[in-house]
Amino acid sequence: MSAESIVIKHHTKNIQGTVQLTGSKSESNRALIIRSLSNGLVEIQNLSEAADTVTLEAALKLAENAGQENTLIDIGPAGTAMRFLTSYLNLIPGKFTLTGTERMQQRPIGILVDALKDLGAEIHYQNKVGFPPLLIEGGMYQSKDQVTIKGDISSQYISSLLLVAANLEKGLKLEIEGELTSKPYVSMTLAMLKECGIESEFSTNSIQINPQAYQSTTIYVEPDWSAASYWYAIVALAQNAHIVLPGLKENSLQGDFAIIEIMSHFGVNSTFKSDGLHLEKSDLQSDKTLFDFKECPDLAQTIVVIAAALKKEVSFTGLETLKIKETDRIAALQTEIAKFGAALIADGNVYHLKTEKVHDPGNLKFATYEDHRMAMAFAPLALVFDQICIEDPQVVEKSYPDFWKHLSNQNFDLLT
């Protein structure tokens, strides 16, 4: 969808049907790195159709076929690709310039680069120290087998290092300094490696992966729980709703599996059946007032918007990493929910949602800040207000390219 904006309405406010979600972007991106490092031993099924995954797959093919000349790899807005390739390219003979969009060049990468340099990598900043673009001289000689990295930063830095660890001549012992943020994503990385024969030892503050070979296997990518979260939002905001999401696992590796418990406090029942996960609207109310997103930060925008629309006075913690995402997601949320009277007020690391002034001002238009999750978090508000407008709707292609088609299938009117 290339329209500058899209107007969304839903006349009945009732939702019922089945939605087949794309494969998990988080699992797919890890699987692509693993496949590339396995020398053909690992295959992938149900790979995500998300733009980020398509971008990473193309970048890996470009790197694998590169010669000795400096190869330019532009990953656009794909943050996971930037983090994973920053480690991966050091193992590939050749010279690479790794860059992205203007916003990507404002997102920090220095902590990961410092860790790789400690291990022996040759990486040079091409503009501002600590930020892309990077010049990476591949075929690194590993000088040490242990490195320390802060735990309260993006877990993608840690996963990036873990994904290449078994291919390092000396392996890797990763010491984690402080509390580990988004731990489920690190656990996902280790579980996927184990599925392919790579063993690890994970204690409280360290992870050890020795040099070892991959085993022949096929990774099946589960549907995306992050995408599922928007259907939870739709069920919560509808008058009546029953949605079936096939293929989701009751023992998922994905951190956003936490949406089940979180949304039980917003009137959504979850039941696993033979045909998939059933989501149903419930009248049950919860008195929970504090929600922690430390281990599932990608759910935060969705829950803040739902809570604001339902006029719930609740508070949130674990939002620290939101400021370095596709946009400053906290600032973006504060600006956009203010358009219908809600306020998100910072009190140290706690954010309080104030909803006493929530109303329908009409002509609501929400900016998306080049952020796919802003578009999908605000779209369900068409079930609360008469109509809304979402700017730059094509941003959803980054993680959920069929989002608008799936909304149309559930009788949302989409006008461009």
Task: Quick: pLDDT tens for 48-85.
Answer: 999 999 999 999 999 998 877 899 999 999 999 999 99
* 10 shares a domain with 92: no
Question: Which among 188, 204, 220 is the end of a domain?
Answer: 220
- The answer to whether residue 298 is catalytic is yes
Question: Which among 160, 192, 220 is the end of a domain?
Answer: 220
* 371 shares a domain with 234: yes
Q: What is the pLDDT of residue 362?
A: 87
Residue 323 DSSP SS3: helix
- Look at the pTM and tell me if it is higher than 0.95: no
Find the domain containing 47 and state its range. 25-220
CA proximity to 229, closest of 379, 367, 54, 353: 379
Question: Which among 165, 195, 220 is the end of a domain?
Answer: 220
Q: What is the pLDDT of residue 1?
A: 60
If pLDDT is split at 50, 70 and 90, which confidence band does 183 have?
A: confident
Average pLDDT, the chain: 94
Q: What is the pLDDT of residue 172?
A: 97
* 325 shares a domain with 230: yes
Report the residue count for the chain.
416
Q: What is the pLDDT of residue 97?
A: 97
* 250 shares a domain with 391: yes
The CATH number assigned to the domain holding 377 equals 3.65.10.10
If pLDDT is split at 50, 70 and 90, which confidence band does 304 have?
A: very high
Q: Give residue-wise pLDDT tens across range 232-284.
A: 999 999 999 999 999 999 999 898 999 999 999 999 999 999 999 999 999 88
* 387 shares a domain with 252: yes
Q: In the chain, how many domains are there?
A: 2
Q: What is the pLDDT of residue 184?
A: 86
* 35 shares a domain with 179: yes
Cα–chain center distance at 11: 31
* 197 shares a domain with 253: no
- DSSP conformation letters of 6-67: EEEE-SS-EEEEE--PPBPHHHHHHHHHHHHHTTT-EEEES----HHHHHHHHHHHHHHT--
What's the CA gap between 317 and 252, in Å, rounded? 24
Q: What is the pLDDT of residue 319?
A: 86
Q: Across residues 375-393, what is the average pLDDT?
A: 97
Q: Give residue-wise pLDDT tens across range 9-51.
A: 999 999 999 999 999 999 999 999 999 999 999 999 999 999 9
Counting residues of the chain whose pLDDT is more than 70, the rounded percentage is 99
- Pick the catalytic residue from 52, 224, 256, 298: 298
What's the CA gap between 97 and 133, in Å, rounded? 7
Asked if residue 154 has pLDDT above 80, the reply is: no
What's the CA gap between 9 and 377, in Å, rounded? 15
* 12 shares a domain with 39: no
Q: Give residue-wise pLDDT tens across range 192-224.
A: 999 999 999 998 889 999 999 999 999 999 999
Q: What is the pLDDT of residue 252?
A: 92
Q: What angle do CA 322, 323, 326 make, to 5 degrees?
A: 80
Asked if residue 400 has pLDDT above 70, the reply is: yes
Asked if residue 324 has pLDDT above 70, the reply is: no
Exposed e or buried b per residue across 363-402, where buried means at least 16 C-beta atoms within 10 angstroms of its C-beta: ebebbbbbbbbbbbbbbbbbbbbebbbbbbbbbbbbbbbb
* 63 shares a domain with 148: yes
Residue where the block lists tokens 């949320």: 333
* 231 shares a domain with 147: no
